[in-house]
Amino acid sequence: DAGVIQSPRHEVTEMGQEVTLRCKPISGHNSLFWYRQTMMRGLELLIYFNNNVPIDDSGMPEDRFSAKMPNASFSTLKIQPSEPRDSAVYFCASSRPASGSSPGELFFGEGSRLTVL
Amino acid sequence: AQSVTQLDSQVPVFEEAPVELRCNYSSSVSVYLFWYVQYPNQGLQLLLKYLSGSTLVESINGFEAEFNKSQTSFHLRKPSVHISDTAEYFCAVSEIVGGGKLIFGQGTELSVKP
Tens-place pLDDT, residues B64-73: 999 998 999 9
With a CB cutoff of 8 Å and minimum separation 6, the contacts of B51 are A101, A102, A103, B32
pLDDT digits over A68-100, tens only?
A: 999 999 999 999 999 999 999 999 999 987 665
- Indicate yes or no: CB of A48 within 8 angstroms of CB of B99: yes
CA distance B77 to B63: 6
CA distance A37 to A87: 9
Look at A77 and B60; give whichever has higher pLDDT.
A77
Over A54-73, what HEC string results? EEECCCCCCCCEEEEEEECC
B35 with B47: CB under 8 angstroms?
Answer: yes
Q: Phi and psi (nearest 5°) for B24?
A: -125, 145
Kindly state the percentage of chain A with pLDDT values over 90.
Answer: 78
Q: Which residue in A42, A98, A104 is closest to B104 by CB distance?
A: A42
Look at A100 and A114; give whichever has higher pLDDT.
A114
CA distance B26 to B5: 8
Contacts of A55 in chain B (CB under 8 A): 99, 101
